[in-house]
Structure 1
Amino acid sequence: YGNASYVDERHHHRYELNPDVVPEFEKAGLSFVGRDESGKRMEIIELPNYRFSVDVQFHPEFKSRPQAISTFLSIGSSVIRTA
């Protein structure tokens, strides 16, 4: 998503990370790079010291269309090409 300040994705999940434990995960090296509007719900995480690691709470595949492939899927195909 580049430097986008807002991303609209489809959600349907039952689990969330307790915001009280976020600082502990950040101390261990996990980077929370996407949050909801309130800043409390963690949506996207990265492991900065790994060659490739992105985890998302939303479902980017639900918004993909043949003419507009999801950024998430584009990242995956890029990884396959460079592996």
Structure 2
Amino acid sequence: MSTVTTPDDTVIFYKDWGPRDGRPIVFHHGWPLSSDDWDAQLLFFLSKGYRVIAHDRRGHGRSSQPATGHDMDTYVADVNVLAD
């Protein structure tokens, strides 16, 4: 299981499929979904040679369920940690 940990110790689950040198596409879900809801799209773009990345936002799917950080600024900061 692939995860990254944010500065506030929230664990973010992500999928990273495809060639490392492939052109990346990052998928973000909304409430109340998870990265699994992108699987059909991930498989389509994967078959075209892209690198596809999808994550579970904090409080969703296989990511941590913290009581705080449920705002757009924190969601963006979480994705920055993932991208780094």
TM above 0.5, yes or no, is no
**Higher Rg:** 1
Higher strand share: 2
Q: Which has the higher contact order (CA 8 A, sep 6+)?
A: 2
Normalised by the size of structure 2, how large is the TM-score? Answer: 0.25
